[in-house]
Amino acid sequence: MMSTHVMSQSIAPAFRRIPHRDPDVNRTVRIAANVSMPLQVQASIREAGHGAPLGSTLTLEGAIVLPGVSAMLTFAKKHANRDGGSIATEAILIPPGEWFVAASSTPPLRITRHSPLQIQIRDSSGAPLAEACNLGRQEDGEPREFGLSVRVPATLVAEITTDGRYSTRCTTIGGKLVFGRGILIRCMFGEGGEAWGSHLCGVGKTDIVAVEVGQTILFPDQLVEPSAREVSLQRMLFRDGQGYPFSSNGLYGA
């Protein structure tokens, strides 16, 4: 199970009231880009219920930290007899450092008391996303913290809607981030209290789901400047929180 941190006050708030829009006269442009999304996994794992009849559980608690996403839009100025140039504006879709909660538990497991624990972040197909990390021996109820950087396939979608009924054109942008693959925390624990090494006698393992396949973060609609009748959208690209273009960008030609 994964819960999402409330983002309505920090992700793409509408700074001005958005007028009511008539879907019959709106024009919507949808731009999608497949990207390699960098993430920070900052979490802890603890063992609970040791000695219970069905066994112990491993519980994940933490956050998935996002790098920030913006949309750089370029509008062309319209003039009857000449090229009017262009205007660029940026819309922040996800502020840098925004995060959502990852919280999940395993089914009951037979884990030897004080077993050493090793984790590795993998995608939903089982492919490793980072090097394995040793968290030491498990103590009853004591969380073991870790922080790792990974990249996962994701799709960025922007929907730009223009309503030209007003004296100043109303243009809004919204959209979503969709994770194409999930993120698993592979937990491996030594059996019999053995230390990690090349001669580990036995290893138990289980996966904790941190991000599910298809997990979606919505970008609330926000107004885009300039809102003028004499401009039209020429192109758009996605950028990360530091202003660098993603390796794959959605482009639009008017």
pLDDT digits (tens, 9 = 90+) for 242-252: 989 986 555 65
Pick the more confident residue, 134 or 251: 134
Tell me how many domains the chain contains: 1
Three-state secondary structure call for residue 229: coil
User: pLDDT averaged over the chain?
Assistant: 80
From the list 116, 119, 117, the residue with the least C-alpha distance to 129 is 119
Confidence at residue 194, expressed as pLDDT on a 0 to 100 scale: 45
| pLDDT of residue 12 exceeding 60 | no
Q: How many other CB atoms sit within 10 Å of the CB of residue 202?
A: 10
Q: Is 143 inside a domain boundary?
A: yes
- Read off the pLDDT of residues 158-174 as tens digits, 9 standing for 90 and up: 999 887 665 566 789 99
Instruction: Report the pLDDT averaged over residues 119-133.
Output: 94
Q: Is 19 inside a domain boundary?
A: no
Contacts by 76-79, CB closer than 8 A, 24 or more apart? 76/231, 76/232, 76/233, 76/234, 76/254, 77/230, 77/231, 78/230, 78/231, 78/232, 79/230
In this prediction, what percent of the chain has a pLDDT beyond 70?
Answer: 74
Q: Is 215 inside a domain boundary?
A: yes
Which of 8-17, 47-56, 72-81, 103-112 has the weakest average pLDDT?
A: 8-17
Q: Is 246 inside a domain boundary?
A: no
Give the integer Cα–Cα distance in Å for 214 and 147: 23
Q: Is 16 inside a domain boundary?
A: no
Q: Is 177 inside a domain boundary?
A: yes
Confidence at residue 137, expressed as pLDDT on a 0 to 100 scale: 81
Q: Is 106 inside a domain boundary?
A: yes
pTM confidence score: 0.79
Give 227's pLDDT tier (boundaries 50, 70, 90).
low
Give the integer Cα–Cα distance in Å for 16 and 120: 45
Instruction: Report the pLDDT averaged over residues 51-73.
Output: 88
Pick the more confident residue, 44 or 10: 44
**Residue range of the domain that includes 183:** 27-238
Confidence at residue 84, expressed as pLDDT on a 0 to 100 scale: 65
Confidence at residue 151, expressed as pLDDT on a 0 to 100 scale: 95
Q: Is 8 inside a domain boundary?
A: no
CA dihedral 133, 139, 140, 141 (to 10 degrees): -50
Which of 41-45, 91-95, 225-229 has the weakest average pLDDT?
A: 225-229
| pLDDT of residue 43 exceeding 90 | yes
Q: How many other CB atoms sit within 10 Å of the CB of residue 235?
A: 18
Which of 11-15, 190-194, 229-233 has the weakest average pLDDT?
A: 11-15
In this prediction, what percent of the chain has a pLDDT beyond 90?
Answer: 44
